[in-house]
C-alpha cells in the first residue's frame, strides 16, 4: 500500500472489521476495527478519568499541543487529502482544501482556548460580589458525516479539547480512515491517551445510542441529516445533555435582475457543485428573476456542460462520484419525478459512464415550488431553476421550507442587500458570494437545520458551562 497508510498502519487490516471501499471504482480499500458496545462503554469511563488531568492543564499548555496538531495536519496535507479522496470520492484539489480548512479550526481554537474569560458583574447588593467562570463541560461525544471526513471532526474536537473537554468521535462508516489519521496525528502532537478517541463501527445505531445516552457523556455534537439529528436529540433528552446539531439544508440561491451576472454564475458553480453537490450548504434551489433568467441559464449551462467528471484522484477532475449507489438512485429519482411533474431537462439527467456511482451534472428549468427537486435535500449535482418576478415573492418562496442553513443572493442594490439579508430565515447568508465557510465565522442553521454554532469565537462556548459564583464579604 502507498505511503499514506503508514500513518494508520496499526489500525487497518483488522479481521472481521468495518470494510471500506473507494466510491470511484467500488474497490475494497481495507478494514478497520468494529468497536463493540462494551468497549465503547469502557472508553467512556476511561475518558472521564482522562478529563481530570486534561482539564487541569493550563489553556496555554493545551494550546501548545493543539498548535503541534495543526502543524502535523498541514505537514501531512497530501497524505490526508489522498485518504479523504480515496474513501469519500471528492476531487483531490477539494480534499487538499478540506485539510487546510480542517486544520484551520485546530489553529483557531488553540488561540481561542486561551480567551475563555468569565465576568465580574457589578453586584446587586452591598457586601456581595459576583463572578462567572467558564468551565469545560466534561466528556463529549461527536458523530460525524462522510462528506467532510476531516473538517467535521476538527470543527468539533478542536474547540472541545481547547476548552478542556475530552472527546469520543464516531465517524461515518464510509470514512473512518481520515478520522483515524487525525487521531494518530493528535497522539503524535502530544494529546494524551483517552483525551481523543476514535470509535469505528459497523453499527452506528447501537453505538450512537450509547454515545447519546451514557450518563457520563455531557454533550453530543452531531453533523448529519435532520432525521438522524432528531433521533439523537430524543435519545439525549433522557439525561438532559447539551446538544449541537448541524443538520440538513435547502439552500436558495437568488439572482436579481440587477446582479453582476458573471459573478452570479461563478458563485452558482461554486455553491452547487462542490463535492459533487454533497454538502449541507450546497445550493438546492436556484431562483432567477425574469429579466436575467434566460441569459443566466445560457451562461450557467455552458459552464456546467464543461465540468470534468472522473475519479477524484485525477488532477483534472471537478466532479467525482457520489458516495454510493443509493445516492445515485436517489438523485435519479428526484430528476425523473421533477421532469414528470413538468420541469424541462436542460442538461444531464442520466448516470455517467465514469462508473456506477457517477451522475452527470444536471440542470432542470421551469421548476416550480411544488416539484420534488424544490423540496427535498438533493445532495447531488442537480440544479433546479425556478423563475420569479418580485422580491417579496422570492423571499416568501425561499423561506417556505422547514430548513434554514445557508442562503445566497446576488444583487447590486444596496437597499436590497439589507432587506433580503434580514428577511431570509437562514443561519448564514452569502451576499454576492457562493462559498461561506471559514473557521473565523459562526457556522450553523435555524429552524430544522440545527442548534448551535461551530467555528468563530462562540464555537468554544458549545463545550463550556458558565458557573455563577456569589460571594458574601
Ligand atoms: P448522511 O445521510 O449524510 O449519511 P446521516 O445522518 O445518515 O447522514 O449520517 C451522519 C452520521 O450519523 C454518520 O456518522 C452515521 O453513522 C450516523 N448515524 C446514522 N444513523 C444513526 C443513528 N440512528 N444513531 C447514531 N448515529 C447515526
Ligand 1 center to 278 CA (angstroms): 15
**Digit-coded pLDDT (tens) for 36-60:** 999 999 999 999 999 999 999 999 9
Helices (H), 255-399: 261-273, 290-305, 325-340, 391-399
Count CB atoms within 10 A of the CB of residue 313: 17
Ligand 1 center to 171 CA (angstroms): 9
**Given the CA of residue 229, which atom of ligand 1 is nearest to it?**
6
Distance CA 195, CA 156 (A): 13
**Digit-coded pLDDT (tens) for 420-473:** 999 999 999 999 999 999 999 999 999 999 999 999 999 999 999 999 999 999
Q: Which of 246, 391, 439, 462 is catalytic?
A: 246
Distance CA 198, CA 33 (A): 10
**Given the CA of residue 201, which atom of ligand 1 is nearest to it?**
16
Please report how many Cα atoms fall inside a 13 Å half-sphere around the Cα of residue 110, on the Cβ side: 19
> What's the predicted TM-score (pTM) here?
0.98
The grid coordinates listed for 384 are 433546479
Query: What are the C-alpha distances in Å from 366 to residues 21, 265, 372, 374?
Result: 38, 18, 13, 11
Ligand 1 center to 276 CA (angstroms): 20
Contacts of 329 (CB under 8 A, 6+ apart): none
**Per-residue model confidence as pLDDT tens for the chain (473 residues):** 457 788 899 999 999 999 999 999 999 999 999 999 999 999 999 999 999 999 999 999 999 999 999 999 999 999 999 999 999 999 999 999 999 999 999 999 999 999 999 999 999 999 999 999 999 999 999 999 999 999 999 999 999 999 999 999 999 999 999 999 999 999 999 999 999 999 999 999 999 999 999 999 999 999 999 999 999 999 999 999 999 999 999 999 999 999 999 999 999 999 999 999 999 999 999 999 999 999 999 999 999 999 999 999 999 999 999 999 999 999 999 999 999 999 999 999 999 999 999 999 999 999 999 999 999 999 999 999 999 999 999 999 999 999 999 999 999 999 999 999 999 999 999 999 999 999 999 999 999 999 999 999 999 999 999 999 999 99
The grid coordinates listed for 371 are 416539484
**Residue 187, strand partner residues:** none
Ligand 1 center to 145 CA (angstroms): 7
**Given the CA of residue 207, which atom of ligand 1 is nearest to it?**
25
Which residues form ligand 1's pocket by a CB distance below 6 Å? 143-145, 170, 172-173, 204-205, 208, 224-225, 228, 231-232
All structural domains of the chain, each given as residue ranges with its CATH number in brackets, are 3-247+449-472 (3.40.605.10), 251-431 (3.40.309.10)
DSSP H or E segment with residue 419? helix 414-423
**Given the CA of residue 228, which atom of ligand 1 is nearest to it?**
6
Which of 89, 210, 224, 226 for mutating ligand 1's site (highest number of atoms within 8 Å of CB)?
Answer: 224
Which of 143, 282, 323 for mutating ligand 1's site (highest number of atoms within 8 Å of CB)?
Answer: 143
Q: Which residue has the cell 432587506?
A: 419
**Residue located nearest, by CA, to atom 14 of ligand 1:** 172
DSSP, residue by residue, 357-416: T-B--EEEES--TTSGGGTS---SSEEEEEEE--HHHHHHHHH-SS--SEEEEE---HHH
**Residue located nearest, by CA, to atom 25 of ligand 1:** 208
Residue 166 near residue 18 (C-beta atoms within 8 A): no
246 is catalytic: yes
Ligand 1 center to 81 CA (angstroms): 23
Q: Which of 112, 280, 282, 462 is catalytic?
A: 280
Q: Report the alpha-carbon angle 70-144-48, nearest 5.
A: 75
The grid coordinates listed for 428 are 448564514
280 is catalytic: yes
Ligand 1 center to 144 CA (angstroms): 7
DSSP H or E segment with residue 244? strand 242-246
Contacts of 12 (CB under 8 A, 6+ apart): 5, 30, 31, 32, 177, 180
Distance CA 18, CA 337 (A): 35
Amino acid at each position: 500500500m502507498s505511503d499514506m497508510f503508514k500513518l494508520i498502519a496499526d489500525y487497518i487490516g483488522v479481521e472481521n472489521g468495518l470494510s471500506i471501499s473507494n466510491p470511484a471504482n467500488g474497490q475494497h480499500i481495507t478494514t478497520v476495527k468494529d468497536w463493540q458496545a462494551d468497549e465503547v462503554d469502557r472508553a467512556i469511563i476511561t475518558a472521564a478519568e482522562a478529563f481530570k488531568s486534561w482539564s487541569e492543564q493550563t489553556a496555554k499548555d493545551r494550546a501548545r499541543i493543539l498548535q503541534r496538531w495543526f502543524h502535523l495536519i498541514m505537514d501531512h496535507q497530501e497524505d490526508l487529502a489522498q485518504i479523504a479522496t480515496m474513501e469519500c470520492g471528492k476531487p483531490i484539489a477539494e480534499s487538499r482544501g478540506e485539510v487546510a480548512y480542517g486544520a484551520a479550526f485546530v489553529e483557531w481554537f488553540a488561540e481561542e482556548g486561551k480567551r475563555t474569560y468569565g465576568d465580574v458583574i457589578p453586584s446587586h447588593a452591598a457586601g456581595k460580589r459576583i463572578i462567572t467562570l467558564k468551565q469545560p463541560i466534561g466528556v463529549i461525544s461527536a458523530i460525524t458525516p462522510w462528506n467532510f471526513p476531516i473538517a467535521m471532526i476538527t470543527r468539533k474536537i478542536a474547540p472541545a479539547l481547547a476548552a478542556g473537554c475530552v472527546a469520543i468521535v464516531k465517524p461515518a462508516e464510509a470514512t473512518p480512515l481520515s478520522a483515524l489519521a487525525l487521531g494518530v496525528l493528535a497522539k503524535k502532537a502530544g494529546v494524551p491517551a483517552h483525551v481523543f478517541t476514535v470509535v469505528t463501527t459497523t453499527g452506528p445505531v447501537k453505538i450512537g445510542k450509547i454515545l447519546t445516552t451514557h450518563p457520563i457523556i455531557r454533550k453530543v455534537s452531531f453533523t448529519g441529516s435532520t432525521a438522524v439529528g432528531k433521533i439523537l436529540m430524543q435519545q439525549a433528552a433522557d439525561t438532559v445533555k447539551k446538544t449541537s446539531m448541524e443538520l440538513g439544508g435547502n439552500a436558495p440561491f437568488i439572482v436579481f435582475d440587477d446582479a453582476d451576472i458573471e459573478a452570479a454564475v461563478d458563485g452558482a458553480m461554486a455553491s452547487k457543485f462542490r463535492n459533487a453537490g454533497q454538502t449541507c450548504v450546497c445550493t438546492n434551489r436556484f431562483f432567477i428573476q425574469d429579466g436575467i433568467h434566460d441569459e443566466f441559464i445560457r451562461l450557467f449551462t455552458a459552464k456546467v456542460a464543461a465540468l470534468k467528471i472522473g475519479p477524484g484522484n485525477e488532477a483534472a477532475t471537478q466532479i467525482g462520484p457520489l458516495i454510493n449507489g443509493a445516492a445515485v438512485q436517489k438523485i435519479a429519482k428526484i430528476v425523473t419525478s421533477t421532469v414528470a411533474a413538468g420541469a424541462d431537462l436542460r442538461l444531464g439527467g442520466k448516470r455517467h459512464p465514469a462508473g456506477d456511482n457517477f451522475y452527470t451534472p444536471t440542470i432542470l428549468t421551469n421548476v416550480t415550488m411544488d416539484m420534488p427537486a424544490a423540496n427535498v435535500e438533493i445532495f447531488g449535482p442537480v440544479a433546479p431553476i425556478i423563475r420569479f418576478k418580485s422580491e417579496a415573492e422570492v423571499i416568501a418562496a425561499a423561506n417556505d421550507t422547514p430548513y434554514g442553513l445557508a442562503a445566497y443572493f446576488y444583487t447590486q442594490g444596496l437597499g436590497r442587500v439589507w432587506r433580503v439579508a434580514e428577511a431570509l430565515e437562514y443561519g448564514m447568508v452569502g451576499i454576492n458570494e457562493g462559498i461561506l465557510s471559514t473557521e473565523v465565522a459562526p457556522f450553523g442553521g435555524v429552524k430544522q437545520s440545527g442548534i448551535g454554532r461551530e467555528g468563530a469565537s462562540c464555537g468554544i462556548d458549545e463545550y463550556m458551562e458558565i458557573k455563577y459564583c456569589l460571594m458574601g464579604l
